Structure 1
Amino acid sequence: MTTEGRRALIVEDYQAAAETFKELLEMLGHEADYVTQGADVEPALASKRYDVVFMDINLPDIPGLTLVNHLRERLPQQHMPSFVAFTGFAAADVVGADTIFDAYLEKPLDLPSLERVLQSLS
Structure 2
Amino acid sequence: MGLASHQSRHVLIVEDYQAAAETFQELLEMLGHRADYVMNGYEVEQALQANAYDVVFMDINLPDISGLELIAQLRAKLGETIHQLKFVAVTGYVQSELAGLQANTPFDFYLEKPVDLANLERILTAI
Q: TM > 0.5 between the two?
A: yes
Conservation of the 8 A alpha-carbon contact between 1:91 and 1:97 = no
TM-score, length-normalised on structure 1? 0.91
Conservation of the 8 A alpha-carbon contact between 1:49 and 1:79 = no
Name the amino acid aligned to 1:53.
V
1:23 corresponds to which of 26, 29, 47: 26
| Pair 1:92-2:105 in alignment | no
What SS does the corresponding residue of 1:61 show, helix, strand or coil?
coil
Looking at structure 1, the residues matched to 42 and 70 of structure 2 have their Cα atoms a distance apart, in angstroms, of 9
| Pair 1:83-2:87 in alignment | yes
1:42 corresponds to which of 38, 42, 45: 45
Looking at structure 2, the residues matched to 47 and 76 of structure 1 have their Cα atoms a distance apart, in angstroms, of 16
Name the amino acid aligned to 2:51.
K
2:107 corresponds to which of 101, 106, 109: 101
Looking at structure 2, the residues matched to 75 and 90 of structure 1 have their Cα atoms a distance apart, in angstroms, of 31
Structure 2 unaligned residues grouped into runs of 5+ = none
Conservation of the 8 A alpha-carbon contact between 2:45 and 2:74 = yes
Looking at structure 1, the residues matched to 34 and 125 of structure 2 have their Cα atoms a distance apart, in angstroms, of 16
Looking at structure 2, the residues matched to 4 and 44 of structure 1 have their Cα atoms a distance apart, in angstroms, of 22
TM-score, length-normalised on structure 2? 0.87
Q: Percent identity?
A: 57
Looking at structure 2, the residues matched to 100 and 91 of structure 1 have their Cα atoms a distance apart, in angstroms, of 18
**Alignment RMSD, CA only?**
1.6
Query: Could you tell me how far 1:96 is from its partner in structure 2?
Result: 3.6
Aligned to 1:57: 60
Looking at structure 2, the residues matched to 9 and 3 of structure 1 have their Cα atoms a distance apart, in angstroms, of 18
Query: Could you tell me how far 1:74 is from its partner in structure 2?
Result: 1.5
Looking at structure 1, the residues matched to 37 and 124 of structure 2 have their Cα atoms a distance apart, in angstroms, of 17
Instruction: Call closer, same or farther: CA 1:3–1:57 in 2, change over 3 Å.
Output: farther
Instruction: Call closer, same or farther: CA 1:9–1:92 in 2, change over 3 Å.
Output: same
Between structure 1 and structure 2, the one with the greater Rg is: 2
Equivalenced residue count is 120
